[in-house]
């Protein structure tokens, strides 16, 4: 019985978190699960796009702006970040601006993603490198 109540409360909290992020302008699918203590770029929330069935672990940072070298223009440039469907972003990962992370991707905990990531891979490290290609969720994940 306690487990059922806990699961119901978890779903309610996830829904509220989703609504808050959507209200702030982030483009996040309702099926995305986000843990607490995320740092999502507040300068341009419309620059973060997250696909379906993606899990983002706590303490993850997603940036979507970078400083401009041209001091005559505004001091930063918005550079959208796209995270695909069915992804798992590990705890404490950092995703830099202007990147696309494909579908069915696992980003290992503590990774710093500095380049685009193709579909169906596992990446880890600083900077994040592909450690497994042609990844399938049926194999299981131990990152």
For the whole model, what pTM was predicted? 0.84
User: How many C-beta atoms lie closer than 10 Å to residue 60's C-beta?
Assistant: 23
The pLDDT value given to residue 63: 92
Q: For residue 46, give the 3-state DSSP assignment.
A: helix
The domain defined by 2-139 folds into: UDP N-Acetylglucosamine Acyltransferase; domain 1 (2.160.10)
Top pLDDT among 67 and 112 is at 112
Note if 65 is an active site residue: yes
The pLDDT value given to residue 3: 83
Top pLDDT among 6 and 68 is at 6
Q: What percent of the chain has pLDDT over 90?
A: 53
Question: Which residue(s) pair with 78 in the sheet?
Answer: 65
Paired tokens of 28: 């996040």
pLDDT at 130 exceeding the cut of 80: yes
The pLDDT value given to residue 68: 65
Rounded to 5 degrees, what are φ and ψ at 139? -75, -20
pLDDT at 72 exceeding the cut of 70: no
Question: Domain spans of the chain?
Answer: 2-139
The Cα–Cα gap between 119 and 47 comes to 21
Instruction: Single out the catalytic residue among 28, 56, 65, 86.
Output: 65
Which of 15-24, 50-59, 61-70, 108-117 has the lowest average pLDDT?
A: 61-70
């Amino acid at each position: 019985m306690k487990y059922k109540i806990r699961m119901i409360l978890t779903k309610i909290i996830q829904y509220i978190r989703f609504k808050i992020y959507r209200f702030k302008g982030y483009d996040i699918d309702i099926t995305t699960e986000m843990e607490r203590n995320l740092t999502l770029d507040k300068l341009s929330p419309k620059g973060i796009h997250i696909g379906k069935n993606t899990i983002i672990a706590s303490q993850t940072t997603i940036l979507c702006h970078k400083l401009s070298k041209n001091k005559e223009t505004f001091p930063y440039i918005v550079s959208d970040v796209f995270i695909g469907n069915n992804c798992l972003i590990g705890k404490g990962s950092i995703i830099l601006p202007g990147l696309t992370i494909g579908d069915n991707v696992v980003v290992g905990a503590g990774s710093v993603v500095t380049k685009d990531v193709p579909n169906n891979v596992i990446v880890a490290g600083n900077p994040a490198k592909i450690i497994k290609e042609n990844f399938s969720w049926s194999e299981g994940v131990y990152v």
